[in-house]
Amino acid sequence: ARVLMLYASGNEQAKELVGMTLSTLDVPVDALFSTLGRTAARGGETKIIADMMQTWHNNLVANIKAGDTKTHNEQLWDPSTWPKQARGVGFMEAPRGGLAHWIVIEDEIIKNYQAVVPSTWNAGPRDQNGQPGAYEAALQDNHTLHDPKQPIEILRTIHSFDPCIACAVHVTDPDGEELIKVKVR
């Protein structure tokens, strides 16, 4: 989605990379909303970030040369400087998707910490309105299976999300009955 947003907003590098990908593969823009698109976007985003790293490095070196060596607030680094009761939350867009962290600190001790990682969002079940999670939605587009007894296309689709959890693929019908067991060797 991030690469498509860059592309749609007119980012020159994204337009060039997406255009080159579409041209090389001889596919329309709609092909980017697929297993192929997610895999290609990961490569394109890696190129965009790698190119930006040189700029970030140059800025860091310039800041250090100018005497700016501060990278954090040292006054708040030691937990003894924290308030007795503290709560924190952080959100970011990680390579796999949205990432969120929550923390509760009481008397300088972490009382509660939780994270919702991108793979949790992507692998999540249907929501309260019946909307499918990302994995389920990606598998609903009538994949053509080369060999229904070894549906490798399902694995490729899930892998295009780059999952990072203990995962398995279970193909079930809406009543929860197992339709097929997939064993990957």
- pLDDT score, position 15: 94
First to last CA, the chain: 31
Exposure b/e, 138-149, CB count within 10 A at least 16 = b: bbeeeeeeeeee
CB 97 within 8 A of CB 118: yes
pLDDT over 90 percentage in the chain: 36
Q: DSSP for 34-71?
A: SHHHHHHHHHHHHHHHHHHHHHHHHHHHHHHHTT----
- pLDDT score, position 10: 94
- pLDDT score, position 167: 46
Give the C-alpha separation, 61 to 92, whole Å.
Answer: 25
Res 143 pLDDT > 80: no
pLDDT tier, 123 (very low <50, low <70, confident <90, very high otherwise): confident
Q: What ranges do the domains of the chain cover? A: 1-71, 74-116, 126-181
pLDDT tier, 181 (very low <50, low <70, confident <90, very high otherwise): low
Res 16 pLDDT > 90: yes
* Bridge-based pairing state of the strands 97-106 and 85-94: antiparallel
What tens digit of pLDDT does each residue of 156-166 get? 888 888 887 65
What tens digit of pLDDT does each residue of 50-89 get? 999 999 999 999 999 998 887 777 788 787 888 889 999 9
- pLDDT score, position 161: 86
Is the CA virtual torsion 42, 48, 54, 56 positive or negative?
negative
Give the C-alpha separation, 163 to 46, whole Å.
Answer: 17
